[in-house]
Amino acid sequence: MLYSKLVDVYDELSETSARLGKIEAVAKLLKGTDNDNLPRVVLLLQGKVFPSWSDEDIGVADKMVLKIVSTATGFPENEVTKKYNETGDLGLTVETLMESKRQQTLGAKHVDIEKVFENMKKLASVEGKGSQEVKVSIVKELIMHSSPKEAKYIVRTALGQLRVGVAEGVIRDAIASAFLGATEGDEKKVAVKAIEWAWFMRSDYGEVARIAKDRGMKGLRGASLEIGKPFQVLLAEKSPSLEEAMKSFENFQVEVKFDGARIQAHKDGDRVWLFTRRLENVTTQFPDIVEMVRKNVSAKKCVLEGEIMAVDPESGKPLPFQSLSQRIRRKYEIDMMVEKIPVQTNWFDIVQAEGKSLFSETFRERREILECCIREVTGRFQLSKQLTTKDIGEAEKFYQEALQAGQEGVMVKNLDALYQPGRRVAGGWLKVKPIMETLDLVIIGAQWGTGKRAGWMGSFVLGCRDEESGEFLECGMMGTGVKEKKTEDDDITFKELTEMLRSHIVSEKGNMVTIRPKIVIETAYEEIQKSPNYSSGYALRFPRMVRMRSDKSPEDADGMERVGRLYVQQKGGK
């Protein structure tokens, strides 16, 4: 199948902003795609070659693409850079440069989808010495065999900036239309539900499309979890208070909400797979957990869920999330990391045991099965700590103890609820954690954006005041909360914020800008962490702009003292 067929659809997608139009274009393409290419097309439509749960990444940077474009088109690198600076888009750059050379090229050139897909995949697998040259030649080969327009999309895909990519919802609806003939009304609702179920089980729309095409509704509804492939987990809803949460269910248990990372473990005999909440495969990073699952889980075949935390090797006490993220990111010298940062696993659910799906068992039943399956190793491999009580005083004490122990809060779980994959549903889990007060911080730097945010500052360095020196110290990078388009009156767009900051630019280096501290932003965040990467020694996790505080001058902004106090308070004053 020719790549140009996909490219035509990319063009169509970039011209239609209407969702229905997009669905129609994608559905038509899916219908005309053969079985072998279906998974490839579905991924390429999303600008990807790996499902989101794969631990592989195409990983090509702007700089390398500049080089590739230069060697493939014969234009010197500085000319390519100049064009890139004008357009802010390397895809357009390669297209324009190739167009301008067109007269010299004989005949039309075309690549096929399989070739593009396989070359993109190869990009992820080359590593080590000489890998740069190999990557250059892989993309160059594609460009040399492409039309200018095809080259544009190849370059954008390699950079992970397809721009016309379609969201998963569009793919889902296109599958409904293409293979189930469902485009509206109840018929569509039923089809979408079946497709979603299959997606919850397989987490890969390529595979879901193939199931829909080959086996229709029956195949989709019957899709089951496959050991070794991650599924979309049950999500929690927020509750304003413990009391409120306890009023929501008739029968419930309160569990510690551990401050770590969610893990799903799949076991089939001696084989074990581990996936994170974002469904990344982290089996290699955690040989210690793999070994413990092998030894301490009695079921031969099962799928478990739990939360992992890093612990201090001496005291066994939980360590902040950053220590764990070092383990998650680490790809080499893993044995050394296992020693340096040991982990503790707290299991809280089981969704498959000995080949039987447990999604339609109640939580009470699942917890019982879980308790039978796990042999606890104190401090390392345990069942999540829980309390069954209806007494608010007792539950409050349990909650306070969890906070004192450095955990995030508690989960209140409905004992009568079934497991609903991939959903935040009423009736399942309610999370209770202390509400973090917002901070008023000052913008002291920014990074120029790329892609949709090209030409504007795309993320902002936040600073808090050092009371001693009067200087502002970095405590985070924020992009969330600032809007691409204005939909509400008090929305602030990247463009507006950039205009406000432009006159305060002190210096620029690469794509980073230093900004005179003038503008105060009220910032919400999930958590304050210690961090050596920022001059304040603190980093806000998931900072988000709440509003501009034009009524405040930088001198009124929050200082180190308050940040430090909130850091301590969030851990129950520990």
Which residues contact ligand AMP by CB under 6 A?
236, 255-258, 262, 277, 307, 348, 384, 411, 431
**Of 263 and 341, which CB lies nearer to ligand AMP in the complex structure?**
263
What are the Cα distances from residue 113, in Å, to 2, 44, 178, 243, 391?
A: 6, 9, 20, 56, 62
Tokens of 563: 């940040």
Least separation in angstroms between residue 467's CB and ligand AMP is 32
Least separation in angstroms between residue 305's CB and ligand AMP is 8
Q: Parallel, antiparallel, or unpaired: how do β-strands 237-238 and 429-432 relate?
A: parallel
- List for the chain the helix, strand, coil content (%; round to 5): 40, 25, 35
Can you tell me the distance from the alpha carbon of 475 to that of 443, in angstroms, rounded to the nearest whole number? 10
Least separation in angstroms between residue 402's CB and ligand AMP is 10
Least separation in angstroms between residue 346's CB and ligand AMP is 7
**Of 61 and 426, which CB lies nearer to ligand AMP in the complex structure?**
426
| Residue 31 among the catalytic residues | no
Q: Is the dihedral of CA 373, 237, 396, 400 positive or negative?
A: positive
Least separation in angstroms between residue 27's CB and ligand AMP is 33
**Of 256 and 353, which CB lies nearer to ligand AMP in the complex structure?**
256
Q: Parallel, antiparallel, or unpaired: how do β-strands 409-414 and 252-257 relate?
A: antiparallel
**Of 25 and 411, which CB lies nearer to ligand AMP in the complex structure?**
411
Tokens of 169: 């919802």
Can you tell me the distance from the alpha carbon of 258 to that of 409, in angstroms, rounded to the nearest whole number? 7
Tokens of 170: 């569009």
Question: What spatial distance separates the first Cα and last Cα of the chain, rounded to whole Å?
Answer: 61
Least separation in angstroms between residue 556's CB and ligand AMP is 31
Q: What is the DSSP string of 376-395?
A: PBTTTEEEPPEE----HHHH
Can you tell me the distance from the alpha carbon of 50 to that of 56, in angstroms, rounded to the nearest whole number? 7
**Of 152 and 257, which CB lies nearer to ligand AMP in the complex structure?**
257
**Of 288 and 307, which CB lies nearer to ligand AMP in the complex structure?**
307
Least separation in angstroms between residue 277's CB and ligand AMP is 5
Can you tell me the distance from the alpha carbon of 336 to that of 109, in angstroms, rounded to the nearest whole number? 51
Tokens of 261: 């990372």
**Of 277 and 380, which CB lies nearer to ligand AMP in the complex structure?**
277
- CB-based contact 90:156 (threshold 8 Å): yes
Q: Parallel, antiparallel, or unpaired: how do β-strands 512-515 and 429-432 relate?
A: unpaired
Least separation in angstroms between residue 265's CB and ligand AMP is 13
Least separation in angstroms between residue 429's CB and ligand AMP is 6
**Of 80 and 411, which CB lies nearer to ligand AMP in the complex structure?**
411
Catalytic residue among 22, 140, 257, 571: 257
Least separation in angstroms between residue 394's CB and ligand AMP is 18
Residues 68, 71, 76, CA angle at the centre, nearest 5°?
Answer: 105
**Of 323 and 384, which CB lies nearer to ligand AMP in the complex structure?**
384
Nearest alpha-carbon partner for 152 in 50, 106, 83: 83
**Of 89 and 255, which CB lies nearer to ligand AMP in the complex structure?**
255
- Residue bearing tokens 């301490």: 296
Q: Is the dihedral of CA 540, 545, 547, 549 positive or negative?
A: positive
Least separation in angstroms between residue 384's CB and ligand AMP is 4
Tokens of 29: 């393409």
Q: Which residue is nearest to ligand AMP (CB)?
A: 262
**Of 4 and 570, which CB lies nearer to ligand AMP in the complex structure?**
570
Outline where DSSP puts E strands in 190-279: 237-238, 252-257, 261-268, 271-276
User: What burial letters (b/e) apply to 394-414, b meaning 16+ CB within 10 Å?
Assistant: ebbebbeebbebbbbbbbbbb
- CB-based contact 473:442 (threshold 8 Å): no
59-63 — which CB contacts under 8 Å span 24+ positions? 59/123, 59/124, 60/123, 60/135, 60/139, 60/158, 60/159, 60/160, 61/159, 62/90, 62/159, 62/450
448 DSSP β-pair partners: 457
- CB-based contact 261:233 (threshold 8 Å): no
Q: Which residues are catalytic?
A: 257
